[in-house]
Chains A and B, each alone.
Chain A
Amino acid sequence: MRADEIEVRNPSGLHARPAALFVKTAARFTSTVTVQNVTTGAGPANAKSILAVMGSGAARGHVVRITADGPDEEQAISVLRDLFASGLGEELEA
Chain B
Amino acid sequence: MTNPVRLTGIAGAPGIAIGPVWRFEAAGPAPQTAASRHGSGQRPADAIEAAAAEAARQLDSLAGRLRDLGREQESTIFDAQSMMALDPGLVADAIRRAGERGDPVEAVGAAAAAAAELLAALDDETLSARAADVRDVGARICRVLRGEVLDVPTVPSIAVCDDLPPSVTAEIPPGFLLGIALAGGSRTAHAVILARSLGIPAIVGIGGLIAAADRHSAPSLQPVSIAMDGERGEVVVDPDAPVAAEFRQREADLALRRASAAGLRDRPAATADGDRVLLVANIGTPDDAPRALAAGAEGVGLFRTEFLFMSRQTPPTETEQADAYRRVLEAFGTERPVVIRLADIGGDKAIPYLHLAPEQNPFLGVRAIRLAYADPDLLLTQLRAIWRAGAAASVVPHVMAPMVATLADVELLMSLRDRAHDTLVSTGVPVAERMVTGIMIEVPSAAFLAPELARRVDFFSIGTNDLTQYVLAADRGNAALAGLQDALHPAVLRAIAGIIAGADAAGIPVAVCGELAGDPAGALVLTGLGVDELSADAGSLDGVRAALARVTRPQLDALARSALDADDAETVRKLAAVLLGPAR
**CB < 8 Å neighbour of B76 from A13, A16, A52:** A16
The answer to whether B88 touches A16 (Cβ under 8 A) is: no
Assess A19 versus B80: contact at CB under 8 Å? Given A13-B126, A51-B90.
Answer: yes
Assess A13 versus B133: contact at CB under 8 Å? Given A20-B79, A46-B89, A51-B89.
Answer: no
Q: Which residue of A lies closest to B79 (CB)?
A: A20
The answer to whether B87 touches A13 (Cβ under 8 A) is: no
**Which residues of the other chain, A, contact B123 by a CB distance below 8 angstroms?**
57
- Near A by CB (< 8 A), chain B positions 72-100 give 76-77, 79-80, 83-84, 87-90
Assess A54 versus B119: contact at CB under 8 Å? Given A15-B127, A16-B76, A20-B79.
Answer: yes
A9 at the interface (CB under 8 A from B): no
The answer to whether B124 touches A57 (Cβ under 8 A) is: yes
Measured in the bound complex, the distance between the Cα atoms of B130 and A30 in whole Å is 28
**Which residues of the other chain, A, contact B122 by a CB distance below 8 angstroms?**
54-55, 57
Measured in the bound complex, the distance between the Cα atoms of B79 and A24 in whole Å is 11
Assess A54 versus B130: contact at CB under 8 Å? Given A20-B83, A24-B83, A48-B88.
Answer: yes
- Near A by CB (< 8 A), chain B positions 114-158 give 115, 118-119, 122-124, 126-127, 130, 133-134
Measured in the bound complex, the distance between the Cα atoms of B124 and A56 in whole Å is 11
The answer to whether A50 touches B77 (Cβ under 8 A) is: no
Measured in the bound complex, the distance between the Cα atoms of B339 and A53 in whole Å is 35
**Which residues of the other chain, B, contact A16 by a CB distance below 8 angstroms?**
76-77, 80, 130, 133
The answer to whether B87 touches A49 (Cβ under 8 A) is: yes
- Near B by CB (< 8 A), chain A positions 43-94 give 46, 48-52, 54-55, 57, 59
Measured in the bound complex, the distance between the Cα atoms of B130 and A23 in whole Å is 16
Interface of B is mostly: helix
- Near B by CB (< 8 A), chain A positions 7-29 give 12-17, 19-20, 23-24
Q: Which residue of B lies closest to A24 (CB)?
A: B83
The answer to whether B124 touches A50 (Cβ under 8 A) is: no
Q: How many residues of B contact A (CB 8 A)?
A: 21
The answer to whether A50 touches B87 (Cβ under 8 A) is: yes
The answer to whether A17 touches B119 (Cβ under 8 A) is: no
The answer to whether A55 touches B118 (Cβ under 8 A) is: yes
- Near A by CB (< 8 A), chain B positions 486-501 give none
**CB < 8 Å neighbour of A23 from B83, B115, B124:** B83
**Which residues of the other chain, B, contact A52 by a CB distance below 8 angstroms?**
87, 89
Interface string of B538-570 (1 = CB under 8 A from A): 000000000000000000000000000000000
Assess A50 versus B127: contact at CB under 8 Å? Given A16-B77, A20-B79, A55-B122.
Answer: no
The answer to whether A13 touches B124 (Cβ under 8 A) is: yes
Measured in the bound complex, the distance between the Cα atoms of B122 and A4 in whole Å is 24
The answer to whether B88 touches A49 (Cβ under 8 A) is: yes
**Which residues of the other chain, B, contact A13 by a CB distance below 8 angstroms?**
124, 126-127
**Which residues of the other chain, B, contact A51 by a CB distance below 8 angstroms?**
84, 87, 89-90, 115, 118-119, 134
**Which residues of the other chain, B, contact A15 by a CB distance below 8 angstroms?**
126-127, 130
The answer to whether B119 touches A55 (Cβ under 8 A) is: yes
**Which residues of the other chain, B, contact A48 by a CB distance below 8 angstroms?**
88
Measured in the bound complex, the distance between the Cα atoms of B86 and A23 in whole Å is 12
Measured in the bound complex, the distance between the Cα atoms of B89 and A19 in whole Å is 15
- Mark B residues whose CB is within 8 Å of A: 76-77, 79-80, 83-84, 87-90, 115, 118-119, 122-124, 126-127, 130, 133-134
**Apart from the given pairs A19-B80, A54-B130, 5 other A-B contacts in the complex at a CB distance below 8 Å:** A13-B127, A17-B80, A51-B89, A51-B90, A54-B127
List 26 interface pairs A-B (beta carbons < 8 Å), by A numbering: A13-B124, A13-B126, A14-B127, A15-B126, A15-B127, A15-B130, A16-B80, A20-B76, A20-B80, A23-B83, A24-B83, A49-B87, A49-B89, A51-B87, A51-B89, A51-B90, A51-B118, A51-B119, A52-B87, A52-B89, A54-B119, A54-B127, A54-B130, A55-B119, A55-B122, A57-B127
- Mark A residues whose CB is within 8 Å of B: 12-17, 19-20, 23-24, 46, 48-52, 54-55, 57, 59
Q: Which 6 A-B pairs have the closest CB atoms?
A: A16-B80, A50-B83, A49-B89, A57-B122, A15-B126, A20-B80
